[in-house]
Amino acid sequence: MVYRMNEKIIDGKKVSAEIREKIKKFGDILIKESNRTPGLAVVLVGENPASRVYVKNKIEKTKEVGFNSIEHRLDENVSEEELLSVVNKLNDDDEVQGILVQLPLPKHINADLVLDTIKPVKDVDGFHAENVGKLWSGLNSLVPCTPLGCSILLKKLNPDLSGKNAVIIGRSNIVGKPMAALLLGMNATVTIAHSRTKNIEELVKSADILVAAVGIPEMVKGNWVKKGAVVIDVGINRIDRDGKKILVGDVDYDECIENSSKITPVPGGVGPMTIACLLLNTLFTSYEQFGVAPIKLSDIFE
């Protein structure tokens, strides 16, 4: 049976639009108080089609909230030295408060070195080792956008997950690991499953909160999901079905919605939250860099 039950769906598109509205409001206040406009720089290397679509979207949304968008498009064969020099120029540029280097980078470039060259205060992707360390230490930091978006959706449902079991499938630096740190911060008991984990189905059956960030289309089946669980599907997979190209997540949505109490659809769940959180990070760090009294997540959600 195919379910499309509205009350179970976590509408990331709606929540992200509300967040962008708040960003515009707090951004306008900041611009007025500081007489400066936040600038978000995006560096795109090469012609990866998915990255190009994503960057185009980011630029559009950046302008919509009234921030300046600075773009650097570099050739696929750019040297590591040249890319580092672009990043260093952006680090020193007072018009730029956030720097995002779009991943993946070509193989001849050391991505870790590039990410660690970005000034931590301008690291709106939250990938710099200093920000990663702060996140795991429970200190204020710039947090990776996709897990931040997931945690905002979860907080809206239940801000304190004390006594709840959270299972994350995937241990990437971009999603799985920072998601674990955020869920610990919300007092959940956290398990991370990954490609070498043996009993994933059993682990998932124990989850009150399930976050799937694997990259395997519809891997999580309906009978894996505990009755009443909240399911956050980070996966974005393009597949062919009945002769059409469609997007599906890492969970089998039509099956998993039955046991879940809440579930994010794909598309329209986690995806739109990622860009909203990038702008949120840019707003927070701009308040800090412009020396205006800082704002907190709770200010945005009041």
Residues that bind ligand NAD (CB under 6 A): 146, 169-172, 174-176, 193-195, 197, 200, 213-216, 234-237, 270-271, 274
Q: Least distance to ligand NAD from the beta carbon of 200, Å?
A: 6
Q: Is 102 a catalytic residue?
A: yes
Q: Is 97 a catalytic residue?
A: no
- The answer to whether residue 155 is catalytic is no
Min dist. Cβ of residue 92 to ligand NAD (A): 29
Residue 206 burial (C-beta neighbours within 10 Å; 0-12, 13-18, 19+): middle
In single-letter form, the type of residue at position 281 comes to N
Residue 258 CB, nearest distance to ligand NAD (Å)? 22
What single string gives the DSSP state of each residue in 114-172?
HHHHS-GGG-TT--SHHHHHHHHTT------HHHHHHHHHHHHH-S--TT-EEEEE---
Q: Between 169 and 190, name the residue whose CB sits nearer to ligand NAD.
A: 169
- Active-site hit among 22, 123, 125, 226: 125
**Backbone torsions φ then ψ of 247, nearest 5 degrees:** -100, 130
Q: Compare residues 234 and 257 and give the one whose CB is closer to ligand NAD.
A: 234
Catalytic residue among 22, 61, 102, 134: 102
Please say which residue, 27 or 265, places its beta carbon nearer to ligand NAD. 265
234 or 251, CB closer to ligand NAD? 234
Which residues are known to be catalytic? 58, 102, 125
